[in-house]
Amino acid sequence: MKRLLLSIILLSALYAHADWIKLGKVNDRTMFINSEMPNQVGASSYSAWTLMILPKPTEDRIRAYQAYDTYDCRTGGRKLLHLTAYDNNGDIIANFNSESMTQVEYDSPSSPGYLAYKKICGR
């Protein structure tokens, strides 16, 4: 119950402007997707904001990640465009913009990112 309450507080404090849909849990990490997403950006590509809440803060005090990715539903690849890390209070710890990066990642079926891929690409 305490975790659920903390998750609700984090979600409401950090992301009051967005509606988040819970995708599920993998390895105690809870994954959400913005309800207004995904946006089609190519024939088989979509972009979306996701939110991952960790069960407890990391050594670097990170409690949640908000990411903006492009998913290629044809190849199964994902390209990170933006990442923000938050602490327990909802304060930003780090911001990364990687729009110039060309590296494509492939999430394994046992990863939290795969939940977003399944939702976005309908797999």
Place of tokens 């305490």: 2
Report whether 100 contacts 82 (CB < 8 A).
no
pLDDT tens string 7-17: 555 554 454 45
For residue 96, the enclosing domain spans: 2-121
How is residue 19 annotated by DSSP? -
Q: How many domains does the chain have?
A: 1
CATH number assigned to the domain comprising residue 95: 2.40.128
Q: How many Å apart are CA 34 and CA 83, to the nearest integer? A: 14
pLDDT tens string 56-85: 999 999 999 999 999 999 999 999 999 999
Q: What is the pTM of this model?
A: 0.79
